[in-house]
Amino acid sequence: MPRVTALLFALGLLPFIVGAAPDASTAIPSSCKSIQSPSQLIPGLATGQVVVSGDMAILRFASGTFACGQWPTGMESTCESQWNFTLTVPVNATQPGTYNLSAVSTQFGELVNKVGPPHNEGCSQNECSTQADGVGSVALADDAGPGATLVIYSAGDECVTGTISGLADPVFPDAPDHNGAFFALRCSQ
């Protein structure tokens, strides 16, 4: 019986483990040539988009798959851990180069849905427990990582690629890791 309990406990933690691990099945778009391997990506990244509005660009990243014209404004009610975050930067910070995120007055936004084992307390018979956290927009200051850096490798007509490094979540310290390589397909607004 203790083995069954240990197995059920391990399965209950599986969504946390899966949500935190890089997704080797992520398909990197062919127009995003400078990223060679999914293992380089932000852990769990499935979608990257860039939307330009005036002199600002919104880099959008998510663990779910979204087409241009789609972007979640909330979290689906599923028993899967999910996240998305945005970096709003001046449009010139999406050209090849290295940018200190606080120096370019980056705005950060995110939604995180954490999933845990069922509570089954009182009248609740939920399949799993969920906790959603989010912030619409907050300025990245040096406390989000004194060296929080955006490096743009390529900026073509279809895709922007690069890396984010040194970024500590400014709002939720236990949020997923937002550091790593990314691709962002260009989407019209």
Q: What is the pLDDT of residues 131-140, one digit of tens each?
A: 555 556 677 7
Measured CA to CA, the distance from residue 21 to residue 116 in angstroms comes to 16
Confidence class for position 62, pLDDT limits 50, 70, 90: very high
Spatial neighbors of 37 by CB under 8 A, at least 6 apart, are: none
The residue-averaged pLDDT of 175-188 equals 92
Edge-first strand order for the sheet with 107-116 is 97-100, 149-155, 159-165, 180-187, 47-53, 56-62, 82-90, 107-116, 129-139
Q: Is the pTM of this model over 0.85?
A: no
Give Cα 96 distance to the centre of its chain.
Answer: 21
Model confidence at 95: pLDDT above 90: yes
Query: What secondary structure letter does DSSP report for 39?
Result: G
Note whether 147 and 131 are within 8 A (CB): no
Q: Can you give the pLDDT at residue 51?
A: 96
Q: Can you give the pLDDT at residue 100?
A: 93
- Counting the structural domains of the chain, the total is 1
Confidence class for position 151, pLDDT limits 50, 70, 90: very high
Measured CA to CA, the distance from residue 111 to residue 119 in angstroms comes to 22
Q: Can you give the pLDDT at residue 179?
A: 94
The residue-averaged pLDDT of 37-43 equals 83
Name the token pair of 79: 């028993």
- Domain containing residue 109: 2-187
Confidence class for position 2, pLDDT limits 50, 70, 90: very low
Note whether 171 and 110 are within 8 A (CB): yes
Most confident segment among 5-14, 81-90, 118-127, 156-165: 156-165
How much of the chain exceeds pLDDT 70, in percent? Answer: 65
| Nearest alpha-carbon partner for 179 in 150, 139, 155, 159 | 150
H or E element at residue 19: helix 2-20
Confidence class for position 19, pLDDT limits 50, 70, 90: very low
pLDDT tens digits along 158-172: 999 999 999 888 777
- How does the average pLDDT of the chain come out, rounded? 76
Confidence class for position 150, pLDDT limits 50, 70, 90: very high
Measured CA to CA, the distance from residue 49 to residue 94 in angstroms comes to 12
| Nearest alpha-carbon partner for 181 in 58, 32, 7 | 32
Name the token pair of 75: 């979290």
Q: Can you give the pLDDT at residue 11?
A: 36
